[in-house]
Amino acid sequence: MAGDLIYLSVDEARDLLDRREVSSVELTEAHLARIEAVEDRVKAFITATPEQAREGARLADERIAAGAAATFTGIPITLKDVLCTRDAPTTAGSQILRDFLPPYDATAVARLREQGAVFVGKSNTDEFAMGSSTENSSFHTTRNPWDLARVPGGSSGGPIAAVAAGEAIVGLGSETGGSVRQPAGFCGIVGLKTTYGRISRYGLIAFASSLDQIGPATRTVADCAHTLGAIAGHDPADSTSAPVPVPDYRAALTGDIKGLRVGVPREYFDQGLEPGVEAAVRQGLRVIEGLGAELVEISLPTSLSGLPTYYIIAPAEASANLARYDGVKYGLSVPRGDLLATYLATRRAGFGAEVKRRIMLGTYALSSGYYDAYYVKAQKVRTLIKAEFDRAFGRDDGADGRAAGVVDVIIAPTSPTTAFRIGERSDDPYAMYMADVLTIPANLAGIPSVAVPCGFADGLPVSLQVMGPAFAEDLILRVAEAYERSTDWTARRPPLDGAPREAIVGSGV
């Protein structure tokens, strides 16, 4: 029975729990056993929390017995280790926070805890979410369940590998430049980046505050919709949290996309796409067209400037945000007699190479004489990128409804390549940064985007992303779920249990 429980959807698990065919304790034990069975190979967790999970499961069963179950009561969830938790360390994948125990939960965590969710652990991340492969974690490198010699993507590689490997039903990650969608694509699951302000950032350890967003990673689009519905909404504790209504995302999944205009940006297919990736995405677009949507070729030329723009803005904000780790208030401290020497020794010992690189890049961009030349110019380009998306969606000033060229959603590849080998790009920061070239524009524009599996290339998952106007998560999830219904890519499982990969891949349609 345990083996049948690890790949349940939220709806399937909820049904079994509510009909008392399985208890939350049994469901949790199945996932804890899975963690024990595969974790030495996948290495998805920094801190597994079996005792807290068992206690949470016991309380969930009491709640179910009392007839007070919510959607996530008794559901095993893993959290990226940049989300504060009051009952488990929050390290951000860094030695500088190795033993940090927050006094509070992040708002997204608190909202799931209020529903009775069961947290099975804190999952691995590139240090302070700075990376595209989870190789920058100061603890260990997480491995892709589809090929243990390859990266899971990053920086949310830990929770996403855990969900793909059956170690949790849902994972919560964070996005700054593609850190949920890119690893979701590499690991063959669904990953959602929400509109900036849709989910509270309170309790999310900051990397770049104008870009960071929490996002769910799940095996189905419906599970993404459930999770978003549970954690979205205004939060007075976060001044950037938007006071806008939260629709019923699950109810929006009607399967009907007839008449929708789907933009296909030509620039996104001219970014070094591997042939197998392009073929899978093009086939996905044909499926979308077969469902009654109209494909419209569009141009987003300023998006090509997204990568350099991001790598000025994000490091600049990181330089300011990470100044708080000084060895005085919390986290690692390396005393050296005087205050300045303590600062220097603490940061030298506590931060890894990539974090130091980005702090230096950001400090340089903000320095006197370079602020206008780099940071201000990057912010202007960011405005142009956002305006370009607004025009495509008919949201700019003067746009008149469904004018010529205006589209409802935009579909593009999630990443130019499939998952690369561990160590392959470690000595080439530019090649590493290029892994996010197709996801970064949506972050800069603050719009929502969901990555959904669309096939395989050389036995490895390929993903397409559906982007939409601000706060149109219901629309992009509807498109993604309609596509998902017409294929079976999200039903595929990695070959961790001995099944040959070629038997798992199949045709998909």
**Residue where the block lists tokens 């603050």:** 446
* 268's tokens: 């996104």
The answer to the question of residue 509 being in a domain is no
The answer to the question of residue 348 being in a domain is no
The answer to the question of residue 407 being in a domain is no
pLDDT of residue 390: 97
DSSP alpha helix (H) spans, 165-208: 181-187
Domains identified in the chain, total number:
1
For 404-430, the DSSP string reads TT--SEEEEES-SSSPPBTTSSTT-HH
31, 150, 402 from 260: Cα distances, Å: 40, 37, 11
> Three-state DSSP class for 352?
coil
117, 162, 163, 504 from 14: Cα distances, Å: 11, 20, 17, 27
Give the Cα separation of 418 and 400 in Å (integer): 39
CATH code at 239?
Answer: 3.90.1300.10
The answer to the question of residue 269 being in a domain is no
Give the Cα separation of 58 and 50 in Å (integer): 12
* Structural domain span for residue 40: 2-246+488-500
Q: How many CA atoms lie within 13 A of 221 on its CB side?
A: 33
Residues of the chain with pLDDT under 50: 398-403, 500, 502-503, 507
Give the Cα separation of 468 and 389 in Å (integer): 9
The answer to the question of residue 423 being in a domain is no
Question: Catalytic site residues?
Answer: 80, 155, 179
Query: What are the pLDDT digits (tens) for 211-226?
Result: 999 999 999 999 999 9
The answer to the question of residue 344 being in a domain is no
pLDDT of residue 400: 45
Query: What are the pLDDT digits (tens) for 276-289?
Result: 999 999 999 999 99
Please confirm whether the linkage preceding 9 is cis (ω < 30° from 0). no
For 205-227, the DSSP string reads PPS-TTT-EEEEEESSHHHHHHH
The answer to the question of residue 242 being in a domain is yes
**Residue where the block lists tokens 């010992």:** 349
Give backbone dihedrals phi and psi of 479, rounded to 5 degrees, phi first: -65, -45
pTM of the prediction?
0.95
The answer to the question of residue 229 being in a domain is yes
pLDDT of residue 502: 46
